[in-house]
Structure formats: structure tokens, C-alpha cells
Amino acid sequence: MKKNRRAFLAHSAKAIAAATITASLPPFLYASSKRNDTIGLALIGANSQGNWNLVQALKQPGVECIAVCDIDDAVLAKRIPEIEKIQGKKPLQYKDHRKMLENKDIDAVIIGTPDHWHCIQLVDAVMAGKDVYVEKPIANSIYECDQMVKAVRRSKQVVQVGQQQRSGDHWKSAMDFMKDGKLGDLRKINIWANFNYGIGRPKMPDSAVPVGVDFDRWLGPAPQRSFNKTRFHGSWRMFWNYGGGLMTDWGVHLMDMALWAKDTKDLPMSVSGTGGNFAFPDHAHETFDTISVQYAMPGYNISYEHSAGIQTGPYGKSYGLAFVGNN
């Protein structure tokens, strides 16, 4: 197992190093197929959001799911019949995304895996000549993002990042309202994201890896460790090796709206923040349950905060943005 893991990590490092995203490129569904008028899709990571993305894609004409890849046999056993029922054809199934990417019938890939896998799988996909829809956050570090940008530009594949608020009519209406000057000069944006799931699950001891799960492959580039259910399906993002907690989950969507309000392309002039785990010690989470961050932008300020475990906030909403102008 250790030898295989070392070989896998060596392969991953070489793939990233060999690659030399523009997140706003057109959706891959509008790209022309290399085979015929049918776009062949594949899914990597079928347990949750990735499967939802695939189901929406299959509602479009001329789209077929060719294959599904997941490290959990139970997930594959659930999703394969569901997809077959939708499209009338059974997709192939894989547990290794690299093997799946060898399939020439696949035109585009949806990546719905835990965040720590996004970089490697996107680089592998575009190097294999596939277009990609990758869930947000695009990666867990600036270094990973840089490698992904280089790989996409070198490959010339189409890539879209899952910032779906950009497609919401109500968000677009809010942006038009502000850009028409009806709010006056935008000077401050307050963001909050308070969700119960941000505290993770109740603590439990390590246990045996579930039957049918390739846990070594699930860990991938993350440090090797024993299996614990609180770090697996549904709650992995609350641990630094895999995700960034609420801020890189819902926070990513809301920060994107704050930047869209002024079509901001500048980096903040300064960033200051504080946070920690101040509540729910009986729950398993490393990422902070309480955070406050200030971004000094050119001409305005952005404030982000979350308090996990309370599921409420300003205006009685658990999440949202407040745009403050001079009107």
C-alpha cells in the first residue's frame, strides 16, 4: 500500500510539474463535440454536488454520461442505476480517474470530488484533452491555482468553475440595480454565512475502512492517516488537509458576489482577520467555527464573517450580503 501510494504521489507531482483557468470561460456544454453532435460527459466524485451537476447537465439536449468515477462502491451502486434511468443507457464505472480519462468517447469532465483533489484531477483532465467543469473552490492553495491556470492555458481546453450564483436571475438583478447607480457609491459590503454543518459531526473514534471504499485513493495527495467517519463523506471540508470550512464553501459563493458588484479584478490592499474554534468542542472540526475578516479594497471595504452552528443572521437569514451605498 505504501509503495503504491508513493508511486501515485510521484505521478501526481510529475503531472502538475509537466503542465505549463480562466474561470469565466463559456460553459463546456456549449463547446463543440469532438465525436459528433452528442457531448460525452464523465463525472469524477458522484456522492453529492457532482451528481447534482451531472443530473442538470443531462437535462440538456445532446448530452450523454459516458462514465462515472468514485472511490466508493456504494456510491457507484447508487448512481449508476439512477443515471441509466435518466438517459436509458448504463454508464461505465471506474474507481481511478486516470483510467477513465483514457476513454476517447469522453469530451468533458465534471469534477465533484473533495477540494484537495481538484488540482490533480483538473490537470490530468485537460492534459487528456477533456473540457472541465470543476466545483468551487477551485483549489486549496494559490500554488495549486497557478498550476491549474498554466495547465489550462497550455491545453487550450474549456474550463468553468462552479460559481453558479453568476447564473442566478436575482443576483443579476441586484448587480444591475447597483451598477445603474441606484444605490449610489458602493462603499461597504457585509457578508455572513452561518450554518449548522460548519461545526462538523459529533466526535467518534477511528474505525475500519468501510467495505468497498478505496480510502488510500480518497486521501490522494493528503497525508496518510487512519479512517474516521467524521472526516469522510459530508464533513471532510471541516479539516485543513481536505478543505477550508465554511469560508471556502459558502463563503466562496458570497465573496464572488461581492467582487462582481464592482467587477473587481484588483487584489485587496490589505487583509486582516481573526478566528478560532470557540464552540462545540464535542464536534470534530479543525477549520474555524468563528471568523471575522476585513478586506480593504480600492474605494470600498468587504467584511466577511461566520458563526457556525447558529443557522441564522441579519434579516433572519443564515447567509447573505448587505450592500451599503450612499443613497
* Residue 97, helix vs strand vs coil: helix
Residues 155 and 304 in one domain: no
194, pLDDT greater than 80: yes
Pairing of β 131-134 and β 108-111: parallel
CB 324 within 8 A of CB 187: yes
Residues 183 and 142 in one domain: no
Cell 462603499 sits at which residue?
187
Residues 176 and 44 in one domain: no
Residues 175 and 298 in one domain: yes
Q: What is the spatial distance between Cα 166 and Cα 269, in angstroms, rounded to a whole number?
A: 25
Q: What is the spatial distance between Cα 30 and Cα 7, in angstroms, rounded to a whole number?
A: 37
* Residue 148, helix vs strand vs coil: helix
> What pLDDT, on the 0 to 100 scale, is given for residue 36?
65
Residues 117 and 178 in one domain: no
> What pLDDT, on the 0 to 100 scale, is given for residue 119?
98
Work out the mean pLDDT of the chain and round it to a whole number: 91
Residues 91 and 180 in one domain: no
Q: What is the CATH number of the domain that holds 275?
A: 3.30.360.10
CB 259 within 8 A of CB 166: no
Residue 223 covered by a domain: no
Pairing of β 188-193 and β 319-324: antiparallel
* Full domain range(s) for residue 251: 169-200+235-324
Q: How many domains does the chain have?
A: 2
Residue 216 covered by a domain: no
Residue 222 covered by a domain: no
Q: Of the candidates 139, 162, 185, which is a domain's last residue? A: 162
How crowded is the C-beta side of 134, counted as CA atoms within 13 Å? 33
The residues, ordered by sequence, that sit 6+ positions from 32 with a Cβ below 8 Å of its Cβ are none
Residue 6 covered by a domain: yes
35, pLDDT greater than 70: no
> What pLDDT, on the 0 to 100 scale, is given for residue 60?
94
Q: What is the mean pLDDT of residues 109-116?
A: 98
Indicate the range of 96-100, 156-160, 164-168, 276-280 predicted with least confidence: 164-168
Residue 126 covered by a domain: yes
The H or E element containing residue 80 is helix 73-87
Q: What is the mean pLDDT of residues 55-70?
A: 97
Q: What is the mean pLDDT of residues 93-120?
A: 98
11, pLDDT greater than 90: no
> What pLDDT, on the 0 to 100 scale, is given for residue 164?
87
Q: What is the spatial distance between Cα 43 and Cα 26, in angstroms, rounded to a whole number?
A: 19
Q: What is the CATH number of the domain that holds 24?
A: 3.40.50.720
Residues 158 and 173 in one domain: no
User: pLDDT by residue (tens digit) across 297-309?
Assistant: 999 999 999 999 9
CB 252 within 8 A of CB 163: yes
Q: What is the mean pLDDT of residues 227-251?
A: 97
Residues 31 and 85 in one domain: yes
pTM above 0.75, yes or no: yes
Residue 16 covered by a domain: yes
Residues 53 and 158 in one domain: yes
Q: What is the mean pLDDT of residues 244-252?
A: 96
